[in-house]
Amino acid sequence: MALFLLPFNLYAYQGRGWSSPLVVSMLVVGIILMILFVVWEKFFAPVSFLPYRLLLDRTVFGACLLCTCQFASYNVWNSYFGSYLQVVQGLSVTHTSYVVQSATMLTVFVALAAGYVIHKTGYFKLISLVVGIPLSILGQGLMIHFRGSGNIGYIVMCYMFTSFSQGLLIITNEIAILAAGSHSHVAAMLAIVSIFGGIGGSIGFTIAASLWTDIIPKKLMQYLPGEQLENLFTIYGDIVTQLSYPKGSPTRDAIEHAYEDAMRVLFATSVGIWVLGAVGVLLWKNINVKNIKQAKGQVW
């Protein structure tokens, strides 16, 4: 996975781009190794890393698909969100941390509340389909509109929408995959969903880095004043340099404009990923967990 995903981050730093021998060789070897991994797991491994029998269940597959899309979508726009808050919205590192940590706390409390609702009703699919995914799409979609400088209140509001959605989807996704298996499969199920979450996160980071390294330099070249073009790569690669230009100056305006253009693409890409995420939820069986008979005592 690393050999396959790294070229999407590194190609912009190679003189020949995608035709660079380093990029091509890493892609080819990565794909070959992933194919060999599947063959090994299927036919030769004494103990399989992934229990394929469980993956054939549509609820399990849907949960894995949703987890992949959730982490991929989140990491696409969140990878550079902290820098965006500082450069475009003018927040300090401290206030940026407040925004991020507030969203994290909201996610935790929402997950607890959602767990209680599911405990009382027994249903979890409807929460994800009617509230979780639409709220995430709404939050990220509105960020496209409010991404400009001076809209920090609206940006925080949208961030809270997304965090609320994350709390719902995290808990319902884990309940979905656990409800599809038996008590003896709890560890395997949690391991599976964690693996796909990690893969999704890596994909999200890779997409973000690929888009960022492609868009920002081009936009800076387009927007920077002529006398600053010689400092383009210094400005691009150093947030301290970016912040050193006072707000309202032509150079800072150019930097902010480049950020806004890049974030628009990142937000739009993130929203698009949710199409697959919604498919994952639709694959779930509408299981009522209150009807699942609990195992008593030790299970061997």
**Residue 100 sits in a domain of what CATH number?**
1.20.1250.20
Q: Are 247 and 98 part of one and the same domain?
A: yes
| Residue 62 scores a pLDDT above 80 | yes
In the three-class reduction of DSSP (H, G, I as helix; E, B as strand; rest coil), residue 213 is classed as helix
Q: Are 39 and 65 part of one and the same domain?
A: no
Give residue 294's pLDDT band: very low, low, confident or very high (50, 70, 90). low
pLDDT of residue 184: 66
**DSSP state letter for 285:** -
Cβ(80)–Cβ(208) below 8 Å: yes
Report the chain's mean pLDDT, rounded to a whole number: 87
Tokens of 113: 């509340």
Span 24-40, mean pLDDT?
90
pLDDT in tens, 179-234: 877 666 777 788 888 888 888 888 898 889 889 988 999 999 999 888 888 888 89
Question: What helix, strand, coil percent values describe the chain, rounded to 5?
Answer: 80, 0, 20
Higher pLDDT, 93 or 299: 93
Total domains in the fold of the chain: 2
pLDDT of residue 178: 85
Give residue 123's pLDDT band: very low, low, confident or very high (50, 70, 90). confident
- Placement of tokens 């999704």 in the chain: 200
Cα–Cα distance for residue pair 238/233, rounded to 1 Å = 8
Q: Are 119 and 134 part of one and the same domain?
A: yes
End-to-end CA distance of the chain: 34
Contacts of residue 24, Cβ cutoff 8 Å, sequence gap at least 6: 7, 18
pLDDT of residue 298: 56
Q: Show the DSSP H helices in the chain as ranges.
A: 2-10, 21-39, 52-55, 58-78, 81-87, 93-121, 125-127, 133-146, 152-179, 186-223, 232-237, 239-244, 250-283
C-alpha atoms less than 13 angstroms from C-alpha of 107 in its C-beta half-sphere? 16
Q: Are 42 and 141 part of one and the same domain?
A: no
Percent of the chain with pLDDT over 90: 47
Q: Are 21 and 5 part of one and the same domain?
A: yes
| Residue 50 scores a pLDDT above 80 | no
Q: Are 120 and 256 part of one and the same domain?
A: yes
Q: Are 127 and 58 part of one and the same domain?
A: yes
Q: Are 275 and 129 part of one and the same domain?
A: yes
pLDDT of residue 55: 73
Q: Are 45 and 58 part of one and the same domain?
A: no
Q: Are 16 and 141 part of one and the same domain?
A: no
**Which of 170, 172, 158 has its CA nearest to residue 103?**
158
Q: Is 299 part of a structural domain of the chain? A: no
Span 1-13, mean pLDDT?
77
Give residue 253's pLDDT band: very low, low, confident or very high (50, 70, 90). very high
Span 61-71, mean pLDDT?
91
Phi, psi for 76 (deg, rounded to 5)? -60, -50
Q: Is 295 part of a structural domain of the chain? A: no
Cβ(72)–Cβ(201) below 8 Å: yes
Q: Is 294 part of a structural domain of the chain? A: no
Q: Are 241 and 96 part of one and the same domain?
A: yes
pLDDT of residue 140: 92
Q: Is 266 part of a structural domain of the chain? A: yes
pLDDT in tens, 130-182: 899 999 999 999 999 998 888 899 999 999 999 999 999 999 998 888 887 76
Q: Is 38 part of a structural domain of the chain? A: yes
pLDDT of residue 151: 86
pLDDT of residue 12: 66
Domain that holds residue 210: 52-289
| Residue 299 scores a pLDDT above 70 | no
Query: What's the alpha-carbon Rg for the chain, to the nearest Å?
Result: 22
Cβ(67)–Cβ(193) below 8 Å: yes
Q: Is 297 part of a structural domain of the chain? A: no
Boundary residue ending a domain (26, 49, 72): 49
Q: Is 298 part of a structural domain of the chain? A: no
Q: Are 22 and 64 part of one and the same domain?
A: no
